Structure 1
Amino acid sequence: MAFSTRSIQWSSSSRAQTAAPSVSSVTSRKMSLQKIQAPSVYGGAGGYGTRISTSTSSGLGGSLQVSITGSDVLLAGNEKSTMQNLNDRLAAYLERVRSLEKSNSLLETQIREWHEKNTVSVGQDYSSYFKTIEELRNAQMENSRLVLQIDNAKLAADDFRLKFENEHLLRQSVESDITGLLRVRDDLTLTKADLESQIESITEELVFLRKSHEEERDRLHKEVGGSVNVAVDAAPGIDLAAIMENMRKQYEEVAEKYRQEAKDHYENLVNVEKLEGHRKEITERRQVYQSLELELQSLLTMTLEGTLAETEARYSYQLDHIQQAISSLEAQLRQLRADMEAQNSQYSTLMDVKTRLEMEIATYRRLLEGEEIGSLSPQRAKRTTELLISPLENCRSICFSLLAAQGD
């Protein structure tokens, strides 16, 4: 049974301990115990009304004080009744000694069990607990690292998703621009085909006019060549070459006009300024995209830094909490070791007291069994009675203290 440190307190361990009457002091006086005469115990007429009162301090640090007042011992006038009374008291003391021996053996068993139990506790190996604490700490650090990697992966995934969405929007914009340009190209192709057909029809018409003009000219030449000029003062003939030249110039001007109109129409459709405007717009959009991408990168960097700081703060707090728990466990372990050392010291003290009491009880038993209480002076008889009573009462006081501590 474990004894609390408050169960038995030695009031002043530094004081000189007043030792109980030892065996050496008894034997050195060479006391020969014989039968005690009734009138020789203490004064009084015939020994009547005599009271044995003893007060002694045993050597347990000065804290165990025994004050025993015996019951009135009536010494009869005759020696027989006095001896009977003393024998009865001696039998009672011997019975008390036997009961105290039983209590002492029980206490020895309890002390031995307590010592064995606490000896195992003192020799306990805490390396497994420290290993478990270290494994938990490493697991928490690994968990923190994995959580940080997961957060970084999530942020990287969000970054790539935003980039993909921006690129997708840019691709859709470019595709819509390409679709519009394809429509313009188709319109220009249709316009070009229409103009080419018009040019072809005009060219055919010009060829037809030239052919008809040549036929008309040949016919007129034939008519003029076959006629005879009768009158000398006839009107001057028509200059057909000039007329044909004029007609040719007119048709060429018309053709040039149509060609110029077609060219102007084509140039208006495919205007260089519009293309430059589209190029500028694309350049501006690229610049906006790059600025947005830079802003996104800065925001992601700030977010990652904030998340990292928060994660470091959280896990530093957890590490501080774990460190406090470890410090508390170490303090409890130190307190436990201190308690064990104090209990071992108390156990050693109790074992010393027990050994000394056993020696004194054995000595007094030999004195009681081997010698008779005979003719002694009153002072020596009183001293002998004190020597018999004091160890028994000391043992009883110690046992009561141990039982009280056991109850606590």
Structure 2
Amino acid sequence: MLKPSISFKAHHANEKEEMQALIVRFAGYIVEVQALEQRNTALPAELTALHSRYKGSPTGIGEEYELKFKEVWELIEVLTNEKGAADIERGYLEEEVEVWRLKVEEELALKEELLKKLHDEEVAELRKQIEYSKMTAELDGDRPDLAVASRSVQEAEKWYKSKFDTLKEHAGKHEEHMKTMKDEITTFHNKVTELQSQIDQLEDMDGVIAQMEPQLCETKLEMTKYPQDYQELLHIKLQLDVEITTYRKLLEEEEQRNTAHCGDITPRVGRLLNLFKNDL
């Protein structure tokens, strides 16, 4: 009578150990499946972020840098051309002013010399006439001739003064024209200075862009790696999906096998399996 009892206890103990081992295996499966599911849940977010980063930021940064670099170079070229044209125009104006200055100085010198010569000749002639008139007056006592000579001197001085005033007026007009030309030169000079300042600023900006070029190259290089990383993550996700499906099938097969093996003797195993499946 003791043997059946011992045999039953031994069988019961074996079933208990088998159930505990099964529970441990299931627990290991569940932990691994839960970890895989968590990883699988996180992968879409990582893929989305990587995809967004691949399609947005790096390309945008690269295009923005290249567009800005192109705009700066185009602006530098335009300003350089404008500065060159302004320098040429200023050179023309300076040459024209110099020509006018020399021409005016030469004309003034010639007119002054001519007027001085005419004045000297007229004064000399008038003096001769006065001397002659004096001599005639002394000889003939003819006073009206002296009056005529005096009037001739006054008329000569008046004519000289009129010519001199005309010459001064003409010289004043030339000076006004020269002043206008100088003002234009000053305006062009200021414009050239302003353009040079803008070019200097753009060259400084170009230096900054040149310093950013290594970063741009690095960004482009990093951008070329994104598709590969995206494909690797996608491949990992697919592998995890396959592994999760496999583990689920294994759990179901293990559950069916143990249910058929244990029958009604181990209903707790079925409840535990259902409990662990619900945890999944």
Q: Aligned to 2:85, what secondary structure does the other structure show?
A: helix
Q: Given the alignment of the two structures, is residue 366 of structure 1 paired with residue 249 of structure 2, yes or no?
A: yes
Deviation string 1:77-125 (CA, Å, 9 cap, x unpaired) is 6431442243145225314422430232122222233223313457769
Matched to 2:251, the amino acid is L
- Bigger CA radius of gyration: 1
Q: 1:299 maps to which residue?
A: none
Alpha-carbon offset, residue 318 of structure 1: 5.2
Q: 2:146 maps to which residue?
A: none
Alpha-carbon offset, residue 128 of structure 1: 7.5
Q: Aligned to 2:48, what secondary structure does the other structure show?
A: helix
- For residues 237 and 243 of structure 2, the distance between their equivalents in structure 1, rounded to whole angstroms, comes to 10
Find 1:149's aligned residue among 67, 85, 91: 85
- For residues 333 and 198 of structure 1, the distance between their equivalents in structure 2, rounded to whole angstroms, comes to 105
Matched to 1:98, the amino acid is Q
Find 2:34's aligned residue among 88, 98, 115: 98
Q: Given the alignment of the two structures, is residue 357 of structure 1 paired with residue 240 of structure 2, yes or no?
A: yes
Q: Given the alignment of the two structures, is residue 347 of structure 1 paired with residue 224 of structure 2, yes or no?
A: no
- For residues 120 and 59 of structure 2, the distance between their equivalents in structure 1, rounded to whole angstroms, comes to 96
* TM-score (norm: length of structure 1): 0.37
Mapping for residues 283-294 of structure 1, pairs under 5 Å: none
Alpha-carbon offset, residue 150 of structure 1: 2.1
- For residues 140 and 333 of structure 1, the distance between their equivalents in structure 2, rounded to whole angstroms, comes to 21
Pair 106,324 (structure 1): closer, same or farther in 2 beyond 3 Å: closer
Q: CA contact under 8 A between 2:50 and 2:226: conserved in structure 1?
A: no
Q: CA contact under 8 A between 2:72 and 2:206: conserved in structure 1?
A: no
Alpha-carbon offset, residue 129 of structure 1: 6.3
Alpha-carbon offset, residue 334 of structure 1: 5.6
Pair 192,337 (structure 1): closer, same or farther in 2 beyond 3 Å: closer
Deviation string 1:46-70 (CA, Å, 9 cap, x unpaired) is xxxxxxxxxxxxxxxxxxxxxxxxx
- For residues 75 and 129 of structure 2, the distance between their equivalents in structure 1, rounded to whole angstroms, comes to 78
Q: 2:124 maps to which residue?
A: 188
- For residues 345 and 139 of structure 1, the distance between their equivalents in structure 2, rounded to whole angstroms, comes to 39
Q: 2:268 maps to which residue?
A: none
Pair 175,339 (structure 1): closer, same or farther in 2 beyond 3 Å: same
Structure 1 unaligned spans of 5+ = 1-75, 206-310, 375-408
Q: Given the alignment of the two structures, is residue 138 of structure 1 paired with residue 74 of structure 2, yes or no?
A: yes
Q: Given the alignment of the two structures, is residue 108 of structure 1 paired with residue 51 of structure 2, yes or no?
A: no
Q: CA contact under 8 A between 2:58 and 2:220: conserved in structure 1?
A: yes
- For residues 173 and 160 of structure 1, the distance between their equivalents in structure 2, rounded to whole angstroms, comes to 20
Deviation string 1:249-302 (CA, Å, 9 cap, x unpaired) is xxxxxxxxxxxxxxxxxxxxxxxxxxxxxxxxxxxxxxxxxxxxxxxxxxxxxx
Pair 337,150 (structure 1): closer, same or farther in 2 beyond 3 Å: closer
Q: CA contact under 8 A between 2:58 and 2:223: conserved in structure 1?
A: yes
Alpha-carbon offset, residue 140 of structure 1: 1.8
- For residues 92 and 50 of structure 2, the distance between their equivalents in structure 1, rounded to whole angstroms, comes to 64
Pair 196,160 (structure 1): closer, same or farther in 2 beyond 3 Å: same
Alpha-carbon offset, residue 369 of structure 1: 1.6
Alpha-carbon offset, residue 135 of structure 1: 4.2
Mapping for residues 253-402 of structure 1, pairs under 5 Å: 322=206, 325=209, 329=213, 335-372=218-255
Deviation string 1:313-357 (CA, Å, 9 cap, x unpaired) is x99x959x959957974x766654443342322322232232123
Pair 343,142 (structure 1): closer, same or farther in 2 beyond 3 Å: closer
Q: CA contact under 8 A between 2:43 and 2:237: conserved in structure 1?
A: no
Whichever structure has more helix as a proportion of its residues is 2
Pair 365,201 (structure 1): closer, same or farther in 2 beyond 3 Å: closer
- For residues 127 and 102 of structure 1, the distance between their equivalents in structure 2, rounded to whole angstroms, comes to 37
* TM-score (norm: length of structure 2): 0.50
In angstroms, what is the RMSD of aligned CA positions? 4.3
- For residues 142 and 371 of structure 1, the distance between their equivalents in structure 2, rounded to whole angstroms, comes to 79
